[in-house]
Amino acid sequence: MKRIIIFAGIIFLSCNILSAKNTLDISGQVKDNQTKKALEFCSVSVFNSKDSLITGTVTDDNGFFNVSLEAGQYYFLLSYVGYASDTTEMMMVTENKFLGVYKLNPNENVLKGFTVKGESHENLIDKDVQIVTDKLKAGATTTRDVLTKLNGVELDRYSNTIKVDNDSKVIILVDGLEKDQEYIKNISPERLKKIEVIRDPGGRYALEGYSAVINIILKKRLSGY
């Protein structure tokens, strides 16, 4: 009996090792073709030869992305608000590989937005960018108070969670990193620089079922305690 259990364990471990070996790390970088600036939160979707979506992710603050794939044929769709989407050629993935730098061009036909109240707010189709002004911070004791002043953002008093357009499937980031709402609650409004509300996000957030992403950007330099 012990021999059977040991043998089964060896088979299980062997299968896991083989499975891990079949997973390949594929990475790349996305930049603005004109300014050469890295594009943060660019959506990267991976499709197979049958045009089926396999996985997706978003770029980090340096424009880099990384996905794990099994060996096979894939192509990548790169999309970013305000830019023309780009689709790579079908490629065979057989080993860990850095695909290189992809450059997106600004889409001149996309509505770039409108400005109100001294350029404190921009509406970029499905992305609202709100600069945190003194007027917005007035009367707010927590960052959560500031969030509820944004268009479409509200606090569900029953569940004590933030909603966007009455949907609670919201992920909150701080400088692009995921944080829980208790952490958000303890950030002083004085540390806030601007807040981005991204509706119908792509990449990993879409695959995980989120309807909106709130990205809180903090001031880089803060004097005092």
CB-based contacts of 205, cutoff 8 Å, min separation 6: 58, 171, 213
**Cα-based angle 10, 15, 18 (whole degrees, multiple of 5):** 125
Q: Are 74 and 50 in contact (CB under 8 A)?
A: no
pLDDT band of residue 180 (cuts 50, 70, 90) is confident
- C-beta of residue 214 within 8 angstroms of C-beta of residue 201: no
Q: Which CATH superfamily is domain 115-218 in?
A: TonB-dependent receptor, plug domain (2.170.130.10)
Q: Say how far apart CA 147 and CA 30 lie, in whole Å.
A: 30
- Residue 194: what residue type? K
CATH H superfamily, domain 2-102? Immunoglobulins (2.60.40.10)
Alpha-carbon gap, residue 86 to 104, rounded angstroms: 7
| pLDDT of amino acid 28 | 94
Q: CA 133 to CA 156: how far, in whole Å?
A: 24
Q: Where are the domains of the chain?
A: 2-102, 115-218
pLDDT attached to residue 45: 92
**Looking at residue 5, what is its pLDDT?**
45
Q: Which stretch of 75-79, 105-109, 190-194 has the lowest confidence by average pLDDT?
A: 105-109
Q: Which of 222, 171, 213 is nearest to 193 (CA)?
A: 222
Contact 153/147 with Cβ under 8 angstroms? yes
pLDDT at 46: 93
- The candidate with the shortest Cα–Cα distance to 161, out of 179, 143, 182, is 182
Pairing state between β 121-124 and 64-70 = unpaired
Where does the pLDDT of residue 108 fall: very low under 50, low under 70, confident under 90, or very high at 90 and above? Answer: low
Q: Which two tokens stand for residue 100?
A: 């290189």
> pTM of the entire structure?
0.47
Q: Locate 194 and state its tokens.
A: 């601007």
- Classified as helix, coil or strand, 64 is strand
